[in-house]
Chain A
Amino acid sequence: MLADGGALRVMQAVALFRMASDSRDVRAGLHRALQAEPLSLLSADDRSTAEIVLAEVLNNIAEHAYAQGDGTILLSLALGHDRLDCVIEDQGGPMPGGALPEGAAPDPARLPEGGFGWHLIRTLCCDLSYERIGPTNRLKFSLPAERSRG
């Protein structure tokens, strides 16, 4: 409860972005999201983290969930007090085994050319969850979101 009895002001910026699953459309969709609120309100460091995680998630959907043919990806972002809640939906194939990859870090000494994606996602986000609802994959997670002072 607020000591002064005043109304709790919750500023929440919400935005929805829709994109096709081709890698160029994903790049353009991510660009649109980064230029708009709420991502444009974030500090440079948190915006950079969001770009890394969202790029990995969106490209995974494009390459794996939609491996059999293109479809649509829906990205929804909601900025709360100090976190950015992200929900990403697609109608592609389900996650193998119905669960998210573990995302173990590849060993740098073996000069890996892939396998970095889920490691980056799991390192940078929290409250990660996945569910399959009918024909839809829904991935939810949150990211640190300090607002820019600039």
Chain B
Amino acid sequence: MLLKSAMAGTTLVIRVAEDRIDAAGAIQFKERMRDLIQVPCDRVILDLGQVHFLDSSGLGAVVAVMKLLAPERRLELAGLTPTVEKVFRLTRMDSVFTIHPALAEGLRNAG
């Protein structure tokens, strides 16, 4: 599971450099994220622009990461592709995340 992280000001941006977060990769995703979010930052944006598929295990792992960051920090999402967006919408989990159309908007709109 390849995740690339970089600071943009006080925002930690983590880009998932994988095609999918599914049952075969969800645990690895969660473990890598746990390591990466150790750095001090105000916000965390997860850039999913490259991820074309996410299943219920992947969704559960994203929720788990959000809980690791709480209560001080929230997990924001950016760049949901059509299938990923569909999974968030059908499960209504789009209601609990701040979702930016793309990373650029996420970096502009603080919070």
A81 to B23 Cα, complex, angstroms: 32
Q: Is the interface of A mostly helix, strand, loop or mixed?
A: helix
B10 on interface, CB distance cutoff 8 Å: no
A123 on interface, CB distance cutoff 8 Å: yes
- Which residues of chain B have C-beta atoms less than 8 A from A96's C-beta? none
A112 on interface, CB distance cutoff 8 Å: yes
Known interface pairs A106-B91, A124-B90. Does A51 touch B53 (Cβ–Cβ under 8 Å)?
yes
Residue of A nearest to B30 (CB): A113
A32 on interface, CB distance cutoff 8 Å: no
- Which residues of chain A have C-beta atoms less than 8 A from B63's C-beta? 111-113
Known interface pairs A23-B24, A59-B55, A120-B90. Does A108 touch B60 (Cβ–Cβ under 8 Å)?
no
- Which residues of chain A have C-beta atoms less than 8 A from B56's C-beta? 56, 59, 114-117, 120
Interface size class of A (residues with CB under 8 A): 20 to 34
* Docked-complex contact B53 and A55, CB < 8 angstroms: yes
Q: Which B68-111 residues have C-beta < 8 A from chain A?
A: 82-83, 86-87, 90-93, 95-96
Q: Write the nearest CB–CB distance from B70 to chain A, whole angstroms.
A: 8
- Which residues of chain A have C-beta atoms less than 8 A from B36's C-beta? none
* Docked-complex contact B91 and A23, CB < 8 angstroms: no
A139 on interface, CB distance cutoff 8 Å: no
- The interface of chain B, by Cβ under 8 A from chain A, is 20, 22-24, 53, 55-57, 59-61, 63-64, 66-67, 82-83, 86-87, 90-93, 95-96
27 interchain pairs (CB within 8 A)? A23-B23, A26-B23, A26-B24, A27-B22, A48-B82, A51-B83, A52-B87, A55-B53, A56-B56, A59-B23, A59-B55, A106-B91, A108-B93, A108-B96, A109-B96, A111-B63, A111-B67, A111-B96, A114-B56, A114-B57, A115-B56, A116-B56, A116-B87, A116-B93, A119-B90, A120-B91, A123-B90
